């Protein structure tokens, strides 16, 4: 008996040692790949794509904002600086509460945290894939090889430009492994394994990837029910679905804000059309040729890739590197001779996911009209899962290949050679595709900031003409010859959400989903007339009025604008990259806090369009209100608001506190977006809050001196938090009861 215990003890030590050794090998290889991000000095990714590159104009600013909030011990529920106000936390991609984000942001500056998160998630993905491959009963050598390659698949490496899309993909192997575990044994431990994986993927978080993973999981469950000898199939289905339900409800603090945002956003419909049915990114069977090379159809670096009519290369390549490709071919040639379990699932899963990624080119394109499927753009993104399935199939081929070597030393030598050659190929691909800049040169203050009056609530806009012009440069010239041009252009013109780094308000917002009303707002605002040859442009009458209502003080553009309401304040020239930067002052701009004594009832979108299209001199004297009672309170042409005064006491993301002095009743408007959760208080008493000027919020203000407060309370988060706590308590109670019952049965 003692001998058996000793043997078990030493076996445990050996297994732990093996796990540590495998983890160490993966870490060493990862350090080799990522060394250029940290040594000899910290660097940041600024690889361009459309709009200047999402890393530059979206995700690095998000990380700045997120780390700022972590260090302040607050939350990014509302960002007043994004697009006149935006519920960044509810949108989800920021993944604020996932532990990797919290830990790295708390301990490091945002640039270091950004790079470290790439490394940490890479290792997490590798551990998950290793567990999955071992769950499939493949050897350790196969598991290490496939696990190492997995997070470095070319399509994932390309998508470092939109890195928050990639992280949830690295959790998929854990979820698949969890389902396989439950198919073999319906235990509490296996239930918790899947539950934690689902929970973590949801809060990481990219809802489209989460949904696509769920689709793949359903395919796996159906496959196992048909192929696997499961004793209690109904119980298996129930436990799998309960794991998902428990994982999502435990993430209620993210789920409920997401649902609220979905209702308020353009993700449900754009011009009454489901998002997916726009079919603006679709694959076709010809894209399978990229298995031979990621640049089969050309390189974006050299402008040889034809973007017109086909999906972007970072969402359309099946390449898995050359050695894995050899093993993939071997797996298909030896398909009948491979006896390992579940190879059929990965082949069928690949075919099903491939058909979804074809979008309008698929014989099953109607599926994208269905609920949930219709909520997401870019059907081509299913390819992100397809390549993972191809790599796993290649793992079966690798297993077959090492099986040819009977001598263990030869087998290990073969494994090491394959691993090192692939590591070299990965490293070469990473360095040839991405543009790195010294981190201390990232976000040097643009020249225009010095000319802006930043003492008050200054707001600016960069027109769409600049984005379109830059995108044309990207398509026609690529970025290999001038790798830093797009970053410099985006930074100097404050494109996207770079303003978050400089803490200045912007009417721009480079986010995937927009607030539904802002989508319409932008469609009127960016209806510009542009002369590409002479780089001149002009805003429409609609844009002129919207810029005034929104309190937009400045226009920053490389174009020369002809509008009379814009005054050229300063013109700069970037000598290194030969482009102009024009800073215009909007002479018609209202302030961030506005008073109105007159209002116009707006009941339809046509009413709104008619009013903002007007060229009448007094058009801006009217507040646009959707409440008839409020309109009746205000319409007094004889009342003057010129002597109305306000003083801002406090202005943070979720609170605007001011003192007002008015001689008559008026409507007080904050030129920051309305959203559920905003409240208005006058002298400490809550007052009805109204949507004003289509996107902003306002409150009826009696004459006299008052203290007025606009405050955002994230009710959806707190409701979700209660759901999270209750679900975890119920889950704990149920599992405790099941555990006790299991102990009694075993007794």
Q: What pLDDT, in 10s, does the model give residues 358-394? A: 988 888 888 888 888 877 878 889 999 999 999 999 9
Residue 318: inside a domain = no
The DSSP letter of residue 297 is T
In a domain, residue 690? The reply is yes
Contacts of 648 (CB under 8 A, 6+ apart): 456, 457, 593, 656, 657, 658
Is the same domain home to 577 and 481? yes
Residue 467 CA to residue 473 CA, distance in Å, equals 10
Distance CA 539, CA 541 (A): 7
With beta carbons less than 8 A apart as the criterion, state whether 76 and 66 touch: yes
> Which residues, 6+ apart, have CB-to-CB distance to 494 below 8 Å?
446, 448, 460, 462, 502, 504, 506, 508, 556
Give the global pTM: 0.92
Q: Alpha helix locations (H) across 39-163?
A: 54, 60-72, 88-91, 99-107, 110-135, 140-149, 154-158
Identify whether residues 543 and 640 lie together within a single domain: no
CA nearest to 460, candidates 502, 421, 427, 419: 502
Give the distance, in angstroms, between the CA of residue 28 and the centroid of all CA atoms in the same chain: 29
pLDDT band at 740, cuts 50/70/90? Answer: confident
The pLDDT value recorded for residue 278 is 56
What does the pLDDT read at residue 360? 84
Indicate the Cα dihedral angle 116, 119, 120, 124, nearest 10°.
170
- Of 589, 624, 644, the residue that ends a domain is 589
* 230 and 117 in a common domain: yes
pLDDT digits (tens, 9 = 90+) for 425-482: 999 999 999 999 999 999 999 999 989 987 767 999 999 999 999 999 999 999 999 9
Pairwise CA distance, residues 545 & 609, whole Å: 11
| 145/391 Cα distance (integer angstroms) | 10
| Cβ proximity of 45 and 469 under 8 Å | no
Query: Considering just the CA atoms, what is the radius of gyration of the chain in Å?
Result: 28
Could you tell me if residue 146 is inside a domain? no
Dihedral of the alpha carbons of 512, 518, 521, 523, in degrees to the nearest 10 = 20
Q: Which residue has the tokens 């009209």?
A: 369
Q: What is the DSSP string of 504-519?
A: -EES----SS-BHHHH
Can you give the pLDDT at residue 648?
94
Q: Which two tokens stand for residue 138?
A: 């493949």
> Can you say whether the dihedral through the CA atoms of 463, 468, 473, 479 is positive or negative?
positive
Residue 2: per-residue pLDDT: 55
What is the DSSP secondary structure assignment for residue 57, as one 8-state letter?
I
Distance CA 476, CA 668 (A): 48
- pLDDT (average), residues 33-58: 94
CA atoms of 519 and 272, how far apart (whole Å): 13
Please check whether residues 124 and 210 belong to one and the same domain: yes
DSSP state of 301: T
Residues 490 and 453: their CA atoms lie apart, in Å, by 21
Q: What is the dihedral of CA 151, 156, 160, 163, to 10 degrees?
A: -80
Q: Confidence band (pLDDT; 50, 70, 90) for 269?
A: low
d(C-alpha 470, C-alpha 488), whole Å: 11
Q: 383 with 362: CB under 8 angstroms?
A: no
Residue 347 forms part of a structural domain: no
Place of tokens 């540590």: 20
Task: Look at residue 485 and tell me if it is in a domain.
Answer: yes
How far apart (Å, rounded) are the C-alpha atoms in residues 383 and 369?
A: 19
Query: Which two three-digit tokens encode residue 440?
Result: 């201390």
In a 3-state reduction of DSSP, which class is residue 392?
A: helix
What is 64-84 written as a DSSP string? Answer: HHHHHHHHHT---S-BTTSTT
Count of all residues that appear for the chain in the document? 747
Do residues 667 and 580 both lie within one domain?
no
Tokens 């919290």, residue located: 102
**Domain interval for residue 210:** 109-135+166-255+716-747
Say what percent of the chain tops pLDDT 90.
76
Q: Give the mean pLDDT of 24-44.
A: 92
- Give strand pairing partners of 659: 647, 707
Q: In this predicted structure, what is the pLDDT of residue 633?
A: 85
Same domain for 707 and 640:
yes
Does 121 share its domain with 67? Answer: no
Mean pLDDT for the stretch of residues 578-589: 95
Q: In this structure, is the dihedral angle defined by the CA atoms of residues 467, 471, 477 and 478, taken in order, positive or negative?
A: positive
| N-terminal to C-terminal alpha carbon distance within the chain | 21
301 φ/ψ angles, rounded to the nearest 5 degrees: -60, -40
Kindly state whether residues 642 and 726 are assigned to the same domain.
no
Q: Tell me if 37 is assigned to some domain.
A: no
Asked if the model's pLDDT at residue 18 lies above 80, the reply is no
C-alpha distances (whole Å) from 456 to each of 432, 554, 584, 591 are 44, 13, 17, 9
What does the pLDDT average to over 196-216? Answer: 94
As a whole number of angstroms, the distance between CA 413 and CA 698 comes to: 72
Boundary residue ending a domain (589, 604, 619) = 589
Q: How far apart are CA 155 and CA 438, in angstroms?
A: 25
Question: What's the sign of the alpha-carbon dihedral 458, 464, 470, 471?
Answer: positive
- Least Cα distance to 324 among 388, 386, 398 occurs for 398
DSSP single-letter state for residue 445: P
Q: Indicate whether 600 and 690 sit together in one domain.
A: yes
Residues 708 and 726 in one domain: no
Residue 456: predicted pLDDT: 67
pLDDT band, residue 656 (cuts 50/70/90): very high
Give pLDDT, residue 737. Answer: 86
In a domain, 224, yes or no: yes
Q: How far apart are CA 147 and CA 128, in angstroms?
A: 8
Rounded (5°) CA angle 584-590-593: 130
Residue 454 lies in a domain: no
Among 589, 617, 641, the domain-final residue is 589
For residue 455 the two structure tokens come to 């003492």
Q: How many domains does the chain have?
A: 3
Distance CA 196, CA 81 (A): 35
551 and 607 both lie in a single domain:
no
> What does the alpha-carbon distance between residue 511 and residue 529 come to, in Å, rounded to a whole number?
24
The whole-number pLDDT of residue 273 equals 53
Q: What is the pLDDT of residue 732?
A: 92
Residues 492, 473 share a domain? yes
């Amino acid at each position: 008996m003692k001998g058996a215990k000793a043997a078990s003890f030493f076996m445990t030590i050996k297994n732990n040692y093996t796990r540590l050794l495998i983890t160490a090998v993966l870490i060493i290889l990862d350090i080799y790949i990522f060394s250029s991000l940290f040594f000899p000095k910290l660097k940041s990714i600024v690889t361009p794509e459309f709009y200047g590159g999402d890393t530059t104009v979206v995700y690095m600013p998000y990380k700045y904002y997120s780390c700022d909030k972590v260090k302040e011990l607050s939350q990014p529920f509302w960002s007043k600086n994004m697009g006149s106000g935006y519920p960044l936390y509810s949108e989800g991609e920021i993944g604020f509460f996932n532990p990797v984000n919290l830990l790295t942001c708390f301990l490091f500056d945002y640039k270091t945290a950004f790079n470290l998160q790439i490394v940490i998630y890479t290792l997490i993905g590798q551990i998950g894939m290793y567990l999955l491959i071992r769950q499939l009963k493949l050897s350790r050598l196969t598991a290490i090889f496939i696990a190492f390659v997995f997070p470095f698949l070319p399509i994932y490496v390309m998508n470092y430009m939109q890195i928050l899309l990639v992280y949830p993909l690295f959790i998929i192997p854990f979820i698949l492994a969890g389902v396989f575990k439950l198919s073999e044994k319906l235990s509490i431990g296996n239930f918790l394994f899947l539950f934690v994986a689902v929970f973590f993927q949801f809060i990481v978080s990219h809802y489209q990837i989460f949904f696509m993973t769920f689709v793949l999981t359903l395919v796996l469950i159906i496959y196992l029910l048909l192929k696997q000898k499961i004793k209690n199939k109904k119980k298996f289905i129930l436990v799998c679905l309960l794991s998902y339900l428990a994982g999502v409800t435990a993430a209620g603090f993210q789920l409920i804000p997401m649902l609220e945002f979905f209702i308020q956003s353009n993700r449900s419909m754009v011009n009454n059309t489901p998002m997916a049915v726009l079919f603006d990114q679709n694959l076709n069977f010809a894209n399978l040729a990229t298995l031979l090379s990621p640049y089969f159809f050309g390189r974006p670096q050299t402008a040889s890739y034809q973007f017109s009519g086909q999906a972007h290369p970072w969402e359309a390549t099946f390449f898995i590197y050359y050695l894995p490709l050899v093993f993939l071919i071997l797996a298909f040639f030896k398909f009948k001779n491979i006896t390992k379990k579940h190879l059929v699932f990965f082949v069928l899963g690949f075919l099903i996911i491939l058909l979804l990624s074809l979008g309008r080119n698929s014989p099953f394109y109607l599926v994208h009209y269905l609920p949930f499927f219709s909520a997401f753009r870019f059907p081509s993104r299913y390819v992100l899962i397809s390549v993972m399935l191809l790599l796993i199939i290649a793992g079966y081929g690798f297993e077959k290949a090492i099986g040819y070597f009977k001598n263990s030393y030869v087998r290990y030598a073969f494994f090491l050679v394959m691993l090192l050659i692939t590591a070299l190929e990965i490293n070469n691909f990473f360095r040839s595709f991405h543009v790195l800049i010294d981190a201390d040169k990232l976000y040097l203050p643009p020249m225009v900031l010095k000319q802006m009056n930043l003492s008050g609530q200054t707001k600016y806009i960069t027109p769409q003409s600049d984005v379109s012009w830059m995108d044309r440069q990207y398509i026609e010239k690529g970025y290999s010859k001038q790798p830093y041009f797009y970053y410099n252009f985006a930074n100097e013109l404050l494109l996207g959400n770079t303003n978050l780094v400089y803490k200045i308000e912007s009417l721009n917002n480079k986010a995937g989903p927009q607030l539904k009303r802002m989508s319409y707002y932008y469609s009127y605002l960016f209806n510009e007339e542009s002369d590409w040859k002479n780089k001149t442009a002009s805003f429409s009458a609609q844009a002129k009025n919207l810029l005034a209502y929104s309190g937009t003080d400045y226009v920053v553009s490389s174009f020369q604008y002809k509008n009379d309401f814009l005054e050229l304040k300063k013109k700069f020239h970037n000598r290194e990259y030969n482009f102009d930067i024009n800073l215009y002052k909007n002479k018609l701009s209202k302030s961030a806090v506005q008073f109105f004594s007159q209002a116009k009832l707006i009941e339809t979108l046509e009413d709104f369009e008619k009013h903002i299209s007007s060229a009448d001199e007094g058009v801006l004297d009217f507040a646009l209100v959707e409440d008839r009672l409020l309109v009746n309170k205000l319409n007094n042409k004889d009342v003057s608001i010129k002597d109305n005064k306000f003083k801002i006491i406090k202005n943070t993301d979720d609170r605007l506190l001011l003192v007002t002095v008015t001689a008559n009743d008026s409507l007080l408007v904050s030129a920051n977006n309305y959203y559920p959760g905003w409240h208005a208080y006058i002298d400490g008493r809550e007052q009805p809050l109204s949507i004003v000027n289509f996107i902003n919020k306002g409150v009826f203000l009696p004459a006299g001196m008052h203290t007025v407060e606009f405050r955002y309370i994230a009710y959806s988060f707190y409701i979700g938090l209660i759901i999270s706590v209750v679900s975890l308590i119920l889950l704990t109670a149920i599992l405790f009861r099941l555990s006790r019952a299991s102990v009694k049965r075993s007794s």
